[in-house]
Structure 1
């Protein structure tokens, strides 16, 4: 049975899931669709504005990315949501995106003002963008490849 991406946590930690290879999770990790131009653009934006080097990145198309998608009951071939992994927990859809942006610090933390809107409404807006992202922004021919200066911040 497929779990909803709204779930806060899997029934057990990815750390004890034998199908998820061990990986460094001492910093927040953004799992993203590396073939989506919109998602890759978000990663470039985050790299440019993450002055403290807080985030690490992981393309969903990598073996580790696929294992995490499967662990959380998501389709490992249809990347309907980015995943923010922080402190051993995964956040999805609007909640994950809001926290990713807020984590960049001021002025980006002002995104927290969007929390006045009900979460189901924010998730519907997220779903609208996610389901149209290829039509509106396009698809990359190959997975996003970081340049040498930031490659160490990518797990795959």
Structure 2
């Protein structure tokens, strides 16, 4: 009467192993959601669709970013997300000390460049460089600015 049936011991052992496996699987899940590239792309599209000069910022929930002329990619510990711009191409600002960076942060193009032709060439070079865009670490917001100078209309993007 005090004996335990032999198969209940096996069932108890099996449930214990399943519980340990379940706890291990749950502990391996990411603690943060993947980044939201669609919201970042929507911010870029809103500025790009503006009729006049405009600027916007979008907080990023990513640790790395890759900005190309037609899409943005965000990455964090939970995964990678990509989104395509509806209004493009945009001009990713080079990581180097470029006059485009000054324009992105509010300097008028006529103060940063000698001529509209030099401005246009900098835009063309930045777009060509973005075709081989690499992942860059990011810990701030996405900055977008639409500006124009004597027929050169551009949407600058950087994070």
Relative contact order, CA 8 A, sep 6+: which one is greater? 1
Structure 2 length-normalised TM: 0.25
Report which of the two has the higher share of helix. 1
Larger Rg computed on CA atoms: 2
Structure 1 length-normalised TM: 0.25
